Amino acid sequence: MNNKAIGVFDSGLGGLTAVKEIMEIMPNESVVYFGDTGRVPYGSRSEETIIKYTKQDIAFLKQHDIKLVLAACGTASSVALPYIKECGIKTIGVVEPTVKKALSVTKNGRVGIIGTAGTIKSKSYENMLLEASKDVTVTAKACPLFVPLVENGYLNCEVTRLVASEYLEEIIKSECDTLILGCTHYPLLKDAINEITQGKIKLIDAGKAAADYVKEYLKENSAESNSQAEYSYYVSDEGADFVKIAEMFLSRKIDKINSIDIESVKVD
Ligand code: DGL
């Protein structure tokens, strides 16, 4: 038993899609969430910058009473976590759980991956899939316009379907039966993607796969909580409509979001 909270971070508010999954499948687990809204997006930044930001995000969460960190951000998980081995707390990224899930789902061994430019360039998913199985064929595609479309509420509308059909052309041609949604924002595009792929491709939500993995990890380590869950939310900038956007990702009302200065957080 461990009633400490799960620390979750993301480059912004999209990581709340993973928190939503945690709330659903682990109703007793408390969550401390940090969204780096002042420095989002991470997806188009250099490796060096993403590593620096990720270290600070983890250091901030460690100031709270937490038992582990979930990096909900596909970009931070792909680009930074492989370089951050020693941060003094168990840290779980989205890549490994999602790869395991994709491999258990694919029937024809053809797996597609979509994510930010940083995630795709890192080949994090691709390398892990190919290491795990020799029989897998991977098609990866960066979809940089998806994040701003989601943040502006363009979920299943003409412009989004148009962009999606362009981005998914290669994925569809590759005849993959499984597609990894390797970015926090993409679960909100499931309907649009399903329309373009005519529902023929099984979509793997990285946040959901990671939440399932955390649940299993806590169970295996007898570290589940048996107390009433509490949720606290922190951001590094209160941008326009940030509460509305946060509630869209979380699919529930948020009473309070605290603002912090992430640049002043020291990394040890
Ligand atoms: N949270 C990021 C991810 O999952 C998307 C937004 C960004 O580029 O920072 O990769």
Span from the CA of 227 to the centroid of ligand 1 (angstroms):
31
**68 CB-contact burial (10 Å; exposed 0-12 / middle 13-18 / buried 19+):** buried
- The whole model's pTM is what? 0.96
Q: Comparing C-alpha atoms, which of 124, 105, 107 is closest to residue 116?
A: 124
Tokens coding 151: 């943040």
Residue 79 gets the label, from left (phi > 0), alpha (psi -120 to 50) or beta, of alpha
Does the pLDDT of residue 143 top 90, yes or no? yes
Domain boundaries, the chain: 5-93+208-264, 95-206
Contacts of residue 103, defined as CB under 8 A and 6 or more positions apart, other chains included, come to 111, 129, 132, 133, 136
Output the CA angle 25-150-42, nearest 5 degrees.
Answer: 85
Closest ligand 1 atom, residue 14 Cα: 1
Per-residue confidence (pLDDT) for residue 86, from 0 to 100: 83
Identify the bridge partners of residue 178 per DSSP, sorted by sequence position.
111, 202
- pLDDT for 240 equals 85
Task: Say yes or no: domain 5-93+208-264 is CATH 3.40.50.300.
Answer: no
Per-residue tokens: 127: 């390398």
Residue 35 bridge partners (DSSP) = 10, 235
Q: What is the pLDDT of residues 12-55, one digit of tens each?
A: 999 999 999 999 999 999 999 999 999 999 999 999 999 999 99
- Atom 6 of ligand 1: nearest residue by CA position: 41
Paired tokens of 132:
């795990």
In whole angstroms, what is the distance from residue 123 CA to residue 143 CA?
14
Do 178 and 113 contact (CB within 8 A), yes or no? no
Rounded mean pLDDT, 225-238: 97
For the domain spanning 95-206, the CATH number is: 3.40.50.1860
Q: Is the pLDDT of residue 239 over 90?
A: no
Q: Does residue 157 have an active-site annotation?
A: no
Q: Is 73 a catalytic residue?
A: yes
Check for a shared fold between 5-93+208-264 and 95-206: yes
Q: Which atom belonging to ligand 1 lies closest to the Cα atom of 116?
A: 10
Q: Is the pLDDT of residue 232 over 90?
A: yes
- What is the number of residues in the chain? 268
- Please give the average per-residue pLDDT across 51-60, as a whole number: 97
Alpha carbon nearest to ligand 1 atom 1, residue:
73
Give the up-direction half-sphere exposure of residue 160: CA atoms within 13 A in the CB hemisphere.
21
